[in-house]
Structure 1
Amino acid sequence: MKVAAVIPCFRVSKHIIDVVERTLPVVDMIYVVDDLCPEGSGALVAEHFPYVNVRVIQHQVNRGVGGAVVSGYRAALADDVDIVVKVDGDGQMDPLQIASLIAPIVARRADYTKGNRFFNIEDLRQMPFVRVLGNSALSFVNKISTGYWNIMDPTNGFTAIHKSTLKLLDLEKLAARYFFESDMLFRLSIVRATVRDVSMPAFYGDEESNLRISKVLFDFPGKYLLNFFKRFFYNYILRDVSIGTIETIVGILLMCFGLTWGVYNWIGNGMNGVETPAGTVMLASLPIILGSQLLLAAVAYDIYNVPSEPLQGSS
């Protein structure tokens, strides 16, 4: 299989030469995407690596990390590359891990793989505590949003994808900025691609992340929620109506009825100075209890419904 690496570049001039040097021996082609880098990372690479298998793609407008990766994906598809690996230009990823990353795809056990820094406790200790806490929270939210309950570390940018799966994605709709990795998982869930985690450590040096905590706190929650509703509509209403659909809808209706009935009577009786009858309390409590049980059953069905049959295996 022909393997290529896409390396998005923005303010990584201190690391990019070393990253390309270490990546060259383990891939067939490298696409360095200069996302209008103010430090001229693309020109630096072109000067140091005048090789046929190192191509620099220059953006005239900054499109964000997602936009840069999409440009690399398009170039790889045009060159009929079989597996495309994304490697960040800041030196946090070890290119020698690419063999492990693509192994499940080569073996036709996955369509998309990504790094996971949470497998090994020793590796996890190298990660700053704030990142561990933030990634743990995002991982749980991402499971609900995308339906991939079997993966962790959703913001990990060390990824690999098979060309047959890449062709199924609408690249124009992928998030262009820092939500790219999470949005990619959502898009993969829509086409029912098989995703697997691969354990790998991260390296932290003097690099500075361009992702701010404020963006995660204020921008990501709404996008995760929107993707969840889209996924439920596509997979549980438009394409298939299953027991999970019924459990979710009936569960929500029962909980809404119980809460509305309970609050209405509680406020009404309180204003009139009347004690709420036990029957009214039970009539409000039972739908809430039944509804919550149905929603838990829907979650269990969603976990069971994680895609497990690789798309490339059936192509």
Structure 2
Amino acid sequence: MYRQSTVAVVIPAYNEEELIQDTLSGIPSYVDRVYVVNDGSKDGTEERVQEFSSRDPRFVYIRHETNKGVGAAIVTGYSRSFADKMDITAVMAGDNQMDPRELPKLLDPIVNGEADYAKGHRLESRTTAKGMSDFRYLGNNILTFLTRFAAGNNKINDPQNGYTAISNHVFKKMSPGSIFTWYGYCNDMLVKLSTYGFKIKDVVIPARYGRERSKIAYPKYIIRISRLLFNELIWRLNYQNMSKSARKANSVMVIGGGMSSMSFTVATLSLITPLSIMGTPKPAESPVGMLIVLSLVGLGMAYLGFVLKRGGKIGMEGKKV
């Protein structure tokens, strides 16, 4: 437990037999649960993890029979953490690239209520990006610009950084199952979190490179993520337009419902109030007929608002990435 909050760490692993035990041995003692998701590895990753987990009950081993993608492995861990009612879930790669001593920097903004999602930021300067190749540094800056544009959030930095922590209350609104399952999961997360109004905080954490070998072909990766971000942009714009329509529909429903209720109530009172109190109005002067008409108009407005709102929901469901 960290500052009265339970903490889980998700570690996606694909063919990480060389470094997975180094990663696991560095997990801080305050972490309550560690979900190691073996994403269909074909090497000795499973044996290494099971050997380690047999000595520490905090470690939960989960296996995907086939390689589903790093995003899918993280989704599996998120879902398990949410089901186990953890407060915060962090993500660390299985190749020991993320320094566990830096984890409190990601947890503190969430515990303090400053953020719903905190993530590492290596691009603050060339010093914090030490060890990152010039091509990779340029590519990450390009993807930063594209992700900001897709998310409508110009405060996002280093979107490809996978060292993150999230408050599990986020999953009450955003299902883990809606997250993209391959390497663009981090961009997808940032677009969705920004669109849904969650607070995102970048935390400067220097890059740490060692014996790990990247499995990413960067030219193809940048093209693929750019295409994903274009689709995310379309989804965000549609979602926001549908949200505006839903707000208008709510207004129509409230006004119509209020008009109908008031008119119906006054009309009913007019009919049941003793004539000695109300007087005996002439038929042409009686307000009851007009009130009934207003009540029907109000019901019509409420129904119209319901139809508009329902149509908006259907549209939003159909447009999600």
Partner residue of 1:40?
Answer: 44
- Counterpart CA distance in 2 for 1:24 and 1:149 is 33
**Alignment partner of 2:164 out of 159, 162, 179:** 159
* Percent identical: 33
Q: Structure 2: any 5+ residue segments left out of the alignment?
A: 248-321
| In structure 2, C-alpha distance between the alignment counterparts of 1:124 and 1:174, rounded to whole Å | 27
- TM-superposed CA distance for 1:37, in Å, is 0.7
Say if 1:222 and 1:106 are closer, same or farther in 2 by CA, change over 3 A. Answer: same
Structure 1 segments, 4+ long, off by >4 Å, are none
Task: Using the TM superposition, give the Cα deviation of residue 236 of structure 1 relative to its aligned residue in structure 2, in angstroms.
Answer: 4.0
Give the structure 2 partner of residue 78 of structure 1.
Answer: 83
Paired residue for 1:18? 22
Which of 189, 197, 200 is matched with 1:192 structurally? 197
Query: How many Å apart are 1:231 and its aligned residue?
Result: 0.7
- RMSD over aligned CA atoms reads 1.7
- Quote the Cα distance in structure 2 between the aligned partners of 1:85 and 1:112: 10
* CA shift for structure 1 position 241: 9.7
**Aligned residue pairs, count:** 242
Q: Deviations over 1:233-281 (max 9, x none)?
A: 2124533699xxxxxxxxxxxxxxxxxxxxxxxxxxxxxxxxxxxxxxx
Q: Could you tell me how far 1:187 is from its partner in structure 2?
A: 1.7
- Which one of the candidate residues 204, 208, 216 is aligned to 2:209? 204
Deviation at 1:26, TM superposition (A): 4.1
Using the size of structure 1 for normalisation, the TM-score is 0.73
Once the two structures are TM-superposed, the CA of residue 7 in structure 1 deviates from its matched residue by: 0.2
Q: Which residue of 2 aligns with 1:269?
A: none
Rate the CA distance shift 1:97–1:26 in 2: closer, same or farther, 3 A: farther
SS at match of 1:98: helix
Which residue identity lines up with residue 49 of structure 1 in the other structure? S
Within 5 Å, give how 1:1-315 maps onto structure 2: 1-50=5-54, 51-239=56-244
Larger Rg: 2
What SS does structure 2 have at the residue aligned with 1:118?
coil
C-alpha displacement of 1:191: 1.7
TM normalised by structure 2 equals: 0.72
Alpha-carbon distance in 2 for matches of 1:77, 1:157: 19
- Work out whether residues 38 and 45 of structure 2, in 8 Å CA contact, stay in contact via their aligned partners in 1: yes
TM-superposed CA distance for 1:127, in Å, is 1.6
What is the alpha-carbon distance in structure 1 between the residues aligned to residue 132 and residue 222 of structure 2?
20
